[in-house]
Chains A and B, each alone.
Chain A
Amino acid sequence: MILRVQGLSARIGSRRILDGLSFDLEQGRTLALMGPNGAGKTTLLRCLLGLVQFEGRVEIDGLDIVSQGVASRRKIGYVPQVPAFYDMKAGEWLRFVAHLRGAPSSEADAALKRVGLEADGERPVRVFSGGMQQRLSVGAALLGNPPIILLDEPTANLDMEGRSELLRLLRTFRAEGKTLVLSSHRAAEVRDLADLVLFLDQGRIGNLGPPADVIPPDLVELRIEAHESRERKRIEGLLELLKVASRPSENGTVNGAVEAAKIIPVIEGLRAYGVATPRIRFRPLEDGGAS
């Protein structure tokens, strides 16, 4: 096991944040930590790094994070939610981290190239965009070739482009056999990346298993134009027939929610009953995106 957590409990002040967590993770697997804000995702990552005091035991590749902290952390790359840098140039920063990690400074150039920043090594990090800073942070996590990488909501502060670029990088790490532990609120990303999901609920394991078993399906909101009350009633009946949960109609629309995977058959069903496509609007309920 690359990661073994036994009876992990942590308090911040008088508040218990984590309560008796136990789980294992095999090398090469990707574990996503999910749960509402305050559930303990970030605190769990900090415990895995030995940054906060806790009860219980955390082993990284057989090494105890408390009594063998330095050796354990040599096996962990860390990407914080908000990238933290000193006022340095990108290459200089990576050489500094390489030194701390006992890696040759030549790895700094390789890391810059790996995250697509090879042309920016001589630029100060403070002028980088959020996406570039996050990629640099990922590059730093690769120094010393650690087998496990911890990422705290790595895409939380990124735009669409930055997010897809980072996800592409993470997929390549996974393909190379790295173990990833990441916290995220984004179900779609987790489904895409994770082998296992640990859903935290008030510091306890609410659920642990494959994404399909743990994450509820994405819902798509349907809005169908229907200005007359008779037409609204007819469409409500159609939705009931198609097993789509409908919500109270608003002026001029009938609203429903359907699982993303079933959206095409539902639209086809509506069209078959004479509902013209331009009258049908839909958008994902998760992440606030629109389509």
Chain B
Amino acid sequence: MTAIVAREIQDSMRSRWFLAMTGVFCALALGVSYLSFAGANSLGFAGFNRTVASLLNLMVLFVPLMGLLIGALGLSGEREDGTLGYLLAQPVGRFSVYAGKFLGQGLSLVLAVGLGLGLAGLVVGWNAGPAGASAFGMLALVAALLGAASLGVGFLVSVRSATRMRALAYALVTWVVFEFALDALSVGMVTAGWLGPQGLLFVSFANPVQLAKILCLMSLSAKLEVLGPSGIYAVKTFGYAGSMLMLGGGLALWALIPAGLGWLTFRKMNVR
């Protein structure tokens, strides 16, 4: 399995998406931080808290898109190219191939996000001071978890798709559902009075993007007014630490359950 993990990481490092993603995250973090006071006719690096608040909305858009695409195109593409069949024809267990690819791609994604945000964090910290650095660290951690979750969903899409083009299409539809459709549905249900704070929190677990948003907001401030109804309900019911653990656990389950379901298909899949 180590050979497969190492090859995935090596392959990612050489590919353009890794450099692009690292660059995009670094540039976004620096840009957001530098332009945070633009509305007040002032330019310069804002502190971590303000940077996290602005960066959060971009992070929850880009990370799931990358995770879904990388996961969806990975196995389906290799199946089309014949490399997956070749790999499985070697004396390697199917689980080693599946887990090796998931770990390798997951670590590459985490590395790209971590490197991009880490470099930006150094610049922001150097210019604006260390206050709020923990929230920035939390943002990076949540981004990694969200990346793993979307990668897991991507893997499930990948093993269920006959071709890479179908996998790509399903991944994009899933991204739209996570980013917009589920949000719109929740808002609609709340507006119609069908969902209270408890129900809204429950519905949040159906969407890893929503879980990531609430986690980041909680790390920024435990003040109830910024958390929204589901966050307020969570903190009041489970406490701050309990809520963080519950939401973080939910996000981790989003990585494990779809990847696990993907494995159930993969272990019996006919490979050409």
1/0 contact trace for A50-74 toward B, CB 8 Å?
A: 1111000000000000000111111
Is A290 an interface residue when CB atoms closer than 8 A count as contact?
A: no
Specify which of B81, B92, B94 is in contact with A100 (CB 8 Å cutoff): B92
Interface residue ranges of A18-77 to B (CB < 8 Å): 46, 49-53, 69-74, 76
Specify which of B81, B83, B88, B91 is in contact with A51 (CB 8 Å cutoff): B88
A69 contacts B271, C-beta separation under 8 Å: no
A80 contacts B85, C-beta separation under 8 Å: yes
Interface residue ranges of B79-94 to A (CB < 8 Å): 81-83, 85-94
Q: Which residues of A contact B160 (CB under 8 A)?
A: none
Determine the distance from Cα of A102 to Cα of B3 in the docked complex, in whole angstroms: 11
A84 contacts B91, C-beta separation under 8 Å: no
Is A287 an interface residue when CB atoms closer than 8 A count as contact?
A: no
Specify which of B4, B82, B91, B268 is in contact with A80 (CB 8 Å cutoff): B82
| Chain B residue with the shortest CB-CB distance to A146 | B91
A73 contacts B91, C-beta separation under 8 Å: yes
1/0 contact trace for B49-82 toward A, CB 8 Å?
A: 0000000000000000000000000000000011
Determine the distance from Cα of A12 to Cα of B11 in the docked complex, in whole angstroms: 32
| Chain B residue with the shortest CB-CB distance to A75 | B91
Determine the distance from Cα of A99 to Cα of B7 in the docked complex, in whole angstroms: 11
B91 contacts A78, C-beta separation under 8 Å: no
Interface residue tally for chain A (C-beta within 8 Å)? 28
1/0 contact trace for A71-99 toward B, CB 8 Å?
A: 11110101010101111000000001101
Determine the distance from Cα of A185 to Cα of B228 in the docked complex, in whole angstroms: 69
A76 contacts B89, C-beta separation under 8 Å: yes
Q: Which residues of A contact B91 (CB under 8 A)?
A: 70-74, 100-102, 144
Q: Which residues of B contact A101 (CB under 8 A)?
A: 90-91
B270 contacts A12, C-beta separation under 8 Å: yes
A100 contacts B3, C-beta separation under 8 Å: yes
Is B236 an interface residue when CB atoms closer than 8 A count as contact?
A: no
Specify which of A12, A53, A70, A96 is in contact with B7 (CB 8 Å cutoff): A96
Determine the distance from Cα of A254 to Cα of B3 in the docked complex, in whole angstroms: 64
Is B272 an interface residue when CB atoms closer than 8 A count as contact?
A: yes
1/0 contact trace for B27-63 toward A, CB 8 Å?
A: 0000000000000000000000000000000000000
Q: A99-B3, A100-B87 are in contact. Are A82 and B82 (CB under 8 A)?
A: yes
B3 contacts A96, C-beta separation under 8 Å: yes
Q: Which residues of A contact B271 (CB under 8 A)?
A: 46, 51-52
| Chain A residue with the shortest CB-CB distance to B3 | A99
B11 contacts A87, C-beta separation under 8 Å: yes
Q: Which residues of A contact B87 (CB under 8 A)?
A: 100
Q: A12-B270, A52-B270 are in contact. Are A100 and B90 (CB under 8 A)?
A: yes
Specify which of B4, B81, B268, B272 is in contact with A46 (CB 8 Å cutoff): B272
Interface residue ranges of B82-128 to A (CB < 8 Å): 82-83, 85-94
Q: When A and B form their complex, which 9 residue pairs have the shortest distance between CB atoms, in order from nearest?
A: A84-B82, A74-B91, A52-B270, A73-B91, A99-B3, A78-B89, A84-B86, A100-B90, A84-B83
> What are 14 A-B interface contacts by the 8 Å CB criterion?
A46-B272, A51-B271, A70-B91, A72-B91, A73-B91, A78-B86, A80-B85, A84-B82, A84-B86, A87-B11, A100-B4, A100-B92, A101-B90, A102-B91
